[in-house]
Amino acid sequence: MTSHTPTRLPYEGVRVIEFTHMVMGPTCGMILGDLGAEVIKVEPPGGDSTRRLLGSGAGFFPMFNRNKKSIVLDLKHAEGREAARRLIASADIVSENFKPGVMAKLGLDYASLRQEHPRLIYVSHKGFLPGPYEQRTALDEVVQMMGGLAYMTGRAGDPLRAGSSVNDIMGGMFGAIGAMAALARRESTGTGGEVQASLFENNVFLVGQHMMQYAMTGRAPAPMPSRISAWAVYDVFTVKNGEQIFLAVVSDKQWTIYCDALGLSDLHGDPRLQTNNDRVQARDWLMPILRSRMAEYSAASLAEVFEREGLPYAPITKPEDLFDDPHLASTGGLAPISLGDGRTSKVPLAPFTLDGEQPGIRLQPPAAGQHTDALLMGVGYSEQEIEALKAQHIAQGD
């Protein structure tokens, strides 16, 4: 149940202790774990509640918790906090994504740890960076609505969240990037530091292109479904038998190729359509013509033409279809994963390669407390002390 990995991953020997749940914090740890770090997930008694989510949250745990170990500690008890501190003393990085103030109440915030552990890198994942909003409760939807992304995604008057946890995932990615930067800086300075990543600022970064569009043009950017496209042909077309396909023609050279391949000589010769900007200005009358002409073809035949001619196109694919994607099957981009209930599936690997291979899965998503005993022994607890912690329900393990 493992895939190939390079002989040495860049963060082998780096230990990460994560106090995380849901998506944002676990994404940070997953990336560091994929890159070789030993990532230890500290879970509450009964395990991370993310394990038990239904509906749209059902895939969170198996997606974002590979390449990790699990220890269960009750941080409400002094003995549980002491065990956590011993783990932190052995670590390079601490990562957390609890509400502001939670880690401080536990004495596990950066301010409480930095003097004793000057080399420690502390990554906090929050809804907002410090400022007027920092005490607000944030969710991906919240920041998408207040950060302009839902407005840009939906139709006018109908804001719509993006169809993935984009800010949670990217926020965790930026937390990991911050941790990597802090590790590199520690090489020269010898000291760690604090990294903060946030949902809201991440969302603002995502819509920055639209902010700059307004700055450049002086015109408010329209939501994507009603936007003035930079290209004349850049749309989903409904074709024969009600099938749909995305087709794009994004240069004057591609326009010539497109017209030649599909017998549109009358449009190619039209003086009103000579440049991309001409065609953008003509979209109101051009697109109905193109939609009518494309409707004569099947999605498969259009895909064949666009593939042959090197033009951009895409089938309209559902997430479940990707399990059978021939490209992913060929590249090994989907790796076997345990779902925690005896079943297995396949999961996307990190979308980059090292030495020609995507970082693989060394550890399946752990059972809650799967590594409690070994981890506690590793920081100096005896078997008797571990059994005593278990008897008091301060630690749990197999």
Domains and CATH numbers, the chain: 15-206+324-396 (3.40.50.10540), 229-316 (3.30.1540.10)
What pLDDT sits at residue 1?
44
Angle (deg, nearest 10), helices 78-89 and 383-391 = 140
Residue with tokens 């409760």: 137
- For residues 379 and 372, the answer to whether their CB atoms sit within 8 Å is no
Strand 244-249 relative to strand 313-315, pairing: antiparallel
Q: What tokens does 322 get?
A: 């990707």
- For residues 397 and 370, the answer to whether their CB atoms sit within 8 Å is yes
- In this prediction the pTM is 0.93
Alpha-carbon span 143 to 134, nearest angstrom: 12
- For residues 194 and 124, the answer to whether their CB atoms sit within 8 Å is yes
pLDDT tens per residue across all 398 residues of the chain: 444 544 789 999 999 999 999 999 999 999 999 999 999 999 999 999 999 999 999 999 999 999 999 999 999 999 999 999 999 999 999 999 999 999 999 999 999 999 999 999 999 999 999 999 999 999 999 999 999 999 999 998 999 999 999 999 999 999 999 999 999 999 999 999 999 999 999 999 999 999 999 999 999 999 988 777 788 899 999 999 999 999 999 999 999 999 999 999 999 999 999 999 999 999 999 999 999 999 999 999 999 999 999 999 999 999 999 999 999 999 999 999 999 999 999 999 999 999 999 999 999 999 999 999 999 999 999 999 999 999 999 999 97
What pLDDT sits at residue 193?
98
Nearest of 66, 26, 70, 68 to residue 50 by alpha carbon: 26
- pLDDT (tens digit per residue) in 239-275: 999 999 999 999 999 999 999 999 999 999 999 999 9
What pLDDT sits at residue 227?
73
Residue with tokens 């002390």: 385
Residue with tokens 């819509």: 207
- pLDDT (tens digit per residue) in 352-392: 999 999 999 999 999 999 999 999 999 999 999 999 999 99
Looking at 190-281, list the stretches that DSSP marks H as alpha helix, in order from N- to C-terminal side: 199-206, 208-217, 252-261, 265-268, 276-281
Nearest of 75, 83, 17 to residue 45 by alpha carbon: 75
- Reported as type and span, the H/E element at residue 38 is strand 38-43
What pLDDT sits at residue 311?
98
Alpha-carbon span 3 to 352, nearest angstrom: 15
Amino acid at residue number 253: K
What pLDDT sits at residue 5?
47
Would you give the distance in Å from CA 300 to the centre of its chain? Answer: 31
Alpha-carbon span 238 to 240, nearest angstrom: 7
Region of residue 128 (phi > 0: left; psi between -120 and 50: alpha; otherwise: beta): beta
